[in-house]
């Protein structure tokens, strides 16, 4: 994969639907390495290693699919308080690979633990033994293919050799590109915030383009902070903040076997002691974490397979948040709505259809619908001010905002999706070839 990094970091990008790329720099306690295990026909980075030389507290949420990948089965067995490494491979999902797929991870964990233990002996004043059950895995790619254990194993020495204890924006970009599959754009986000009087960093990367519909975290996402926070608090923060971020996106209505979102805290910043997720000293961190996750989630939706438009669908003034969510996703997952938007057709009848099939109690006479600032439906009927030409012009933009107002309550929910184009069919019909 050839890419002009200078263009990606250009402070002004007219073609970016999600705004500027952020310049992630260094986080103490974290090291990053990338290499190619030749998992693709064309050579590119397909292995990414995150190494926590002093360990990191951690939390993860995983897919709720009843058929989960072998790496998730591995991760669910890990009960160590601190993690020493995360290894990510692309091209192969290691899903529906059975005992052989799980065995492959055991082989890689043993090998990686030995290599990292040797690196500890070389680099550290007080070296620690890295255990195989201090290593997490993330896999993404084709389901059902034999897991390439030997190819990855042969690449581990090169991963170890390339470990650098200082990161910069180019290192982060390499890592974010190393985890991509059908994605067209790397996805990075960052925030700086305070815990008490201590400044901490929150950095994140993600991948996802197809097979995306929330049923926990959706896709792969990895967040890193230098703050000192326990795993139990991280878990609560993660579960709370995914609901309106990663659990608010859908590209195609399909939930992967490999969905995984993780957060790691290196503890290099000695912030105030935190005893509870409700601690007031966490409020700034909590809101900043939400911003990072929402930024990444939007980037995933905007980069959906074949996407030409990024769509937000806000449903407000409902009796319950669940009602708002049902309607929002009914619209977001409708092929008819998504193809109309792809064709730049303001076919609001398809919005009406999607609202109706959501199985939510409605008062048709109170419904209002807007495309951007253009009122289409008010008080349950076509607005006297509606101008089809104006609406068609609005649909030509790359960012489409839909608003549905039920006027029945005070609850709301916003989902994020993309249009459905011919390119989506091309990508997925040619996915393995």
One of 181, 218, 225, 245 is an active-site residue; which one? 218
Angstrom distances, CA of residue 317 to CA of 51, 354, 356, 369, 404 = 46, 17, 16, 12, 9
Angstrom distances, CA of residue 199 to CA of 163, 226, 269 = 26, 9, 8
Beta partners for residue 130, in sequence order:
none
68 CB-contact burial (10 Å; exposed 0-12 / middle 13-18 / buried 19+): buried
Angstrom distances, CA of residue 330 to CA of 287, 326, 390 = 28, 6, 25
Backbone φ, ψ for residue 136 (5° rounding) = -105, 155
Instruction: Specify whether 149 is catalytic.
Output: no
Angstrom distances, CA of residue 218 to CA of 189, 278, 297, 429 = 17, 26, 9, 22
Assigned token pair, 367: 């419904």
Assigned token pair, 13: 């990008």
**Matching residue, tokens 């201590």:** 198
Among 62, 418, 58, 415, smallest CA distance to 217 is for: 62
CB 75 within 8 A of CB 136: yes
Whole-number Å distance between alpha carbons of 85 and 31: 9
Task: For residue 120, count other CB atoms closer than 10 A to its CB.
Answer: 16
Among 378, 417, 423, smallest CA distance to 399 is for: 417
Among 147, 333, 174, 173, smallest CA distance to 258 is for: 147
Kindly list the catalytic residues. Answer: 218
């Amino acid at each position: 994969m050839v890419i002009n990094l200078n263009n990606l970091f250009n402070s002004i990008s007219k073609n970016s639907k999600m705004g500027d790329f952020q310049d992630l720099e260094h986080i103490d306690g974290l090291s990053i390495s990338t290499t190619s295990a030749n998992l693709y026909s064309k050579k590119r980075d397909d292995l990414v290693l995150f190494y926590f030389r002093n360990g990191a507290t951690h939390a993860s949420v995983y897919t709720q699919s009843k058929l989960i990948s072998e790496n998730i089965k591995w991760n669910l067995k890990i009960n160590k308080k601190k993690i020493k490494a995360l290894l990510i491979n692309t091209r192969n999902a290691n899903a529906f690979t059975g005992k052989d797929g799980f065995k492959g991870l055991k082989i890689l964990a043993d090998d990686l633990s030995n290599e990292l233990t040797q690196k500890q002996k070389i680099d550290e004043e007080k070296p620690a033994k890295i255990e195989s059950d201090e290593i997490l895995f993330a896999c993404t790619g084709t389901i059902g293919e034999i897991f390439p254990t030997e190819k990855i194993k042969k690449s581990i020495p090169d991963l170890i050799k390339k470990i650098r204890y200082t990161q910069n924006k180019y290192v982060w970009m390499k890592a974010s590109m190393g985890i991509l599959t059908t994605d067209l754009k790397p996805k990075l986000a960052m925030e700086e915030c305070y815990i008490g009087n201590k400044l901490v960093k929150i950095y994140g990367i993600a991948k996802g383009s197809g097979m995306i519909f929330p049923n926990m975290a959706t896709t792969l996402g990895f967040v890193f902070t230098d703050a000192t926070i326990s795993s139990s608090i991280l878990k609560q923060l993660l579960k709370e903040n995914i609901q309106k971020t990663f659990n608010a996106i859908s590209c195609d209505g399909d939930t992967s076997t490999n969905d995984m979102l993780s957060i790691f805290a290196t503890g290099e910043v000695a912030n105030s002691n935190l005893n509870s997720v409700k601690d007031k000293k966490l409020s700034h961190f909590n809101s900043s974490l939400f911003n990072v996750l929402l930024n990444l989630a939007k980037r995933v939706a905007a980069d959906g397979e074949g996407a030409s438009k990024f769509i937000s669908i806000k449903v407000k003034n409902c009796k319950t948040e669940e009602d708002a969510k049902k309607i929002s996703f009914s619209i977001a997952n409708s092929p008819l709505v998504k193809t109309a938007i792809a064709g730049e057709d303001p076919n609001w009848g398809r919005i009406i259809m999607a609202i109706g099939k959501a199985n939510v109690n409605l008062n048709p006479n109170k419904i209002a619908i807007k495309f951007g600032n253009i009122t289409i439906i008010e008080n349950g009927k076509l607005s006297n001010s509606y101008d089809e030409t104006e609406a068609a012009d609005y649909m030509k933009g790359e960012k489409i905002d839909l608003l549905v107002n039920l006027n029945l309550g005070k609850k709301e929910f916003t989902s994020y999706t993309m249009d459905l184009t011919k390119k989506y069919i091309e990508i997925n019909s040619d996915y393995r070839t």
